[in-house]
Every structure is written in structure tokens, then in C-alpha cells.
Amino acid sequence: MNPEHGSSEALVRGDNVRKTYRMGAEDIHALDGVSFKIARGEFLSIMGPSGSGKSTLMNLLGALDRPSAGRLEIDNAPIGDMTPDQLAALRNRTIGFVFQQFNLLARTSALENVKLPMLYAHKRPSDLNKAAQEVLDLVGLGDRLDHHPAQLSGGQQQRVAIARALVNRPQILLADEPTGALDTQTSEEIMQLFTNLNQSGVTVIIVTHEQEIADWTNRVMRLRDGKIVTDERLKERLHVVS
């Protein structure tokens, strides 16, 4: 199959993607030639044991890094050929990234945190507050605009981080263990939020260790030693969207 002429719906296309780290004399194949397609609108989870290459793959999908070999296209753009500034623009407009540790700016209000990606998108200043407020409403934090991260619970902080990832209306939302620092109850609320976002058309990709979390998604990709071992689409959703 020629990846150039593959399914036109594929938002992400990986062809024999490799990531090799050199540690002293030996090479670590964090990703050892993975090929996959992710269509628009999918809700995908990536699982696998520690060190299997999940975060490495997410970093590539998030255009934070370039593959050592192989070809990776995001929204038809081959990220291996892009300059750092082009990658930055892709991260800014097409991709939203949510981290396990939230990574909010300390001593900065929720609203200001959410506005940050828009500043780098050179949006008109008059639009910023309104747009930020809208996404904070969307994640259910419309009444916490002026709170600083220290004044928010873990779940609320992760919602702010999700709002920040969404504010530039990305096509893909990536989350590397988004619930890793949260309790079960809060994790479910966050997964509900991802489900709602996915249903509104955003492609959502999450990394998780927990089967309960993966059960929210409709496709599970399993990695081991830098290779995809299984990639299954679930016909039936285990959780009914409320």
C-alpha cells in the first residue's frame, strides 16, 4: 500500500516509524517500526507495559519530536520534514496536548493559562477572554476563571489543562496518562469529558495503564518493546454516554 494514496480520511498516518535513542554504546529502539492510521473522529487508547514506547509515540503524534526513521503524517503534513517553527505551528493549531502532571503555569489564573496558546497563535486580543471563557465553560469551570492552580483540585487542574488544549480548536487531542494523577471518581469525570469532546468531532488519543480507562475508548492499540502487538476496534462501547 502506498501511504500517499491511502484513505483520505486518515488524520494521522504512520509508516514504519522508528525512534532510536543512543545510550552510550547501545541503541534503544523506543519505537521499532510502527505503522498505523488514525481516522478523523476516532477515540483511541494506547496501552502497554512501562517502557514499551507509549510516551515516545505520543510525543511524535504531538509533533514534539521527529521520528528517527519512517514517515509520520499529521493532517497530511510529514512531520519528519518540518522545521521546528512549522512543528510549533502544528502543535499550536492542529494538536492539543494534555499532560499527566497538568503543567499549568503556577500563580497564574485559569483564564490566563487557557489564553496562552492563543497568544502564540497571534489571535486578536479582544477575542482572547471570550474564547478562553467559552472553553472553560465547556469543561465545567466557568465559575473558576480567576482561580490559580494552587486553588484548584487535581481534577479541576486537569480540566483547565484540557481547556487550554482545546482553546485553539485543534483537530487532535492527545493525553499522556491524563488520569494518572487522579482518583477513580475524578478520572471518570475526565473520561466523560473526553467522550463528549470526541462526540463533538475531536479525534482523541490517550495513553493509559488502566483497562477501565481504555474501556471508554473505541479502539485500543497495545505496544510492547516499541512494536504494536494488537490494535483492536471495539464494536460495542462499554460505557454508555450519559
User: In 3-state terms, the chain is what percent helix, strand and coil (to 5)?
Assistant: 35, 30, 35
* Contact (CB, 8 A) for 173 and 165: yes
Distance CA 106, CA 24 (A): 36
Residue 223 CB neighbour total at 10 angstroms:
25
Element holding 86 (H helix, E strand): helix 84-93
Stretch that binds another protein, among 116-124, 142-150, 199-207, 223-231 (CB under 8 A): 116-124
x/- string (CB under 8 A) for another protein, residues 39-78? Answer: --------------------x--x-xx-------------
Stretch that binds another protein, among 26-34, 74-82, 98-106, 202-210 (CB under 8 A): 98-106
Q: In the window 164-203, what residues touch another protein (CB under 8 A)? A: 164-165, 168
Number of residues this chain uses to bind another protein (CB under 8 A): 27
Beta carbon nearer to another protein, 86 or 199: 86
The angle at the Cα of 55, spanning 53 to 56, to the nearest 5 degrees, equals 60
Number of residues this chain uses to bind ligand ATP (CB under 6 A): 12
Q: Order the strands of the 172-176 sheet from edge to edge.
A: 95-98, 172-176, 203-207, 43-47, 219-224, 227-233
Beta carbon nearer to another protein, 136 or 165: 165
Among 1, 5, 23, 235, binds ligand ATP (CB under 6 A): 23
Distance CA 217, CA 198 (A): 10
Amino acid at 23: M
Among 6, 7, 9, 21, binds ligand ATP (CB under 6 A): 21
* Contact (CB, 8 A) for 41 and 192: no
Stretch that binds another protein, among 86-94, 178-186, 220-228, 232-240 (CB under 8 A): 86-94
Q: In the window 46-85, what residues touch Mg ion (CB under 5 A)? A: 55
Binding site residues, another protein, CB under 8 A: 59, 62, 64-65, 84-85, 88-89, 91-93, 97, 99, 103, 105, 107-108, 116-117, 119-122, 125, 164-165, 168
Binding site residues, ligand ATP, CB under 6 A: 21, 23, 28, 30, 48, 50-56
